[in-house]
């Protein structure tokens, strides 16, 4: 098991938890999609998994080897270093060429600064970096929202094809995407106290 969440309860206001008694687990080769309305606590759950926040109740057991892809790629890269340097800082780039092809990215884009790439290109660079880090757990927060439909499908197919190496927890508003790729859909709003 690379992730085990048991009876997780958390809220920024202790009297109004975002979610209560949330439990699920994830193993390599699985995709679980987390859905729910804005403000339901989907991104907060990732912060708890990453240990940036502490649960009020419950426990999270998680692998050390985690990569994450955030919704806004511009916040994931330092503005004054090339994309390649920022990938090399955290990952082995020996497989970079095969992933570039799978993500429809040209190698020369990696030598540019983040602001010189479009949002879609930078998001794919963010996915590239996450994959090159060889995670056991891949956390994806709306990873394809900046991509057009054809590229979105290609990126998701590539992630699914590489699933034997990791497990994937995907936050999405796109229920069709969740139904297409996920082994289980976790509706976080079902754990929101009234």
pLDDT for the residue numbered 191: 81
Query: For residue 187, what pLDDT is reported?
Result: 94
Q: Chunked in runs of 10, what are the mean pLDDT values of the chain (194 residues)?
A: 96 90 96 91 94 96 95 91 97 93 93 95 95 96 85 89 93 91 92 72
128 is written with which tokens?
A: 């590239």
Query: Which CATH number fits the domain 3-80+136-191, given the four candidates 1.10.3720.10, 3.10.129.10, 3.40.50.300, 3.40.50.10860?
Result: 3.40.50.300
Q: Taking the complete model, does pTM exceed 0.85, yes or no?
A: yes
pLDDT at residue 194 in the model? 61
């Amino acid at each position: 098991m690379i992730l085990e969440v048991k009876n997780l309860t958390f809220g920024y206001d202790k009297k109004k938890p975002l979610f209560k008694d949330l439990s699920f687990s994830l193993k390599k080769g699985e995709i679980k999609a987390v859905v729910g309305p804005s403000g339901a606590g989907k991104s907060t759950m990732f912060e708890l998994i990453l240990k940036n926040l502490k649960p009020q109740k419950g426990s999270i057991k998680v692998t050390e080897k985690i990569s994450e892809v955030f919704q806004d790629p511009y916040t994931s890269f330092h503005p004054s270093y090339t994309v390649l340097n920022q990938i090399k800082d955290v990952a082995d780039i020996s497989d970079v060429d095969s992933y570039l092809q799978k993500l429809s990215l040209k190698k020369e884009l990696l030598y540019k600064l983040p602001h010189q790439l479009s949002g879609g290109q930078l998001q794919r660079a963010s996915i590239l970096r996450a994959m090159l880090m060889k995670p056991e757990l891949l956390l994806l927060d709306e990873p394809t929202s900046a991509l057009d439909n054809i590229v979105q499908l290609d990126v998701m197919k590539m992630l699914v094809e590489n699933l034997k190496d990791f497990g994937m927890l995907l936050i999405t508003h796109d229920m069709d995407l969740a139904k297409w790729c996920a082994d289980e859909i976790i509706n976080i709003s079902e754990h929101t106290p009234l």
